[in-house]
């Protein structure tokens, strides 16, 4: 049976919630990575310049993956809302 418009909107809400959970998980990984990098810098294993370079790389990766989540979300919403 075809989905009703109401049910499709409910599914979109579920998908959005899932994507937000994924984004939170990605941000938590970024936070953990940054904490580990700061620990390395504190223990003199890496320099401050290296710390900032790595933090920038972690941020770039985070941005890339969050953008990918947004792309998948948009595609899935479009798919669900198509009649």
In the prediction, which pLDDT does 47 show?
94
pLDDT, tens digit, 9 for 90 and up, residues 9-31: 999 999 999 999 999 999 999 99
Alpha carbon of 80 to those of 26, 33, 50, 53, 74: distances in Å? 25, 35, 45, 41, 10
Token pair of 24 as six digits: 């939170």
This model's pTM is above 0.85: yes
pLDDT, tens digit, 9 for 90 and up, residues 48-58: 999 999 999 99
DSSP 47-75: -HHHHHHHHHHHHHHHHHHHHHHHHHHHH
DSSP assignment letter at 3? P
């Amino acid at each position: 049976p075809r989905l009703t418009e109401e049910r499709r909107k409910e599914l979109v809400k579920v998908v959005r919630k899932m994507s937000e959970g994924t984004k939170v998980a990605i941000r938590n990984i970024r936070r953990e990575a940054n904490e580990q990098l700061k620990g390395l810098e504190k223990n003199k294993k890496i320099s401050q310049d290296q710390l900032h370079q790595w933090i920038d790389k972690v941020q770039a990766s985070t941005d890339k993956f969050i953008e990918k989540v947004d792309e998948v979300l948009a595609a899935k919403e479009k798919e669900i809302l198509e009649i």
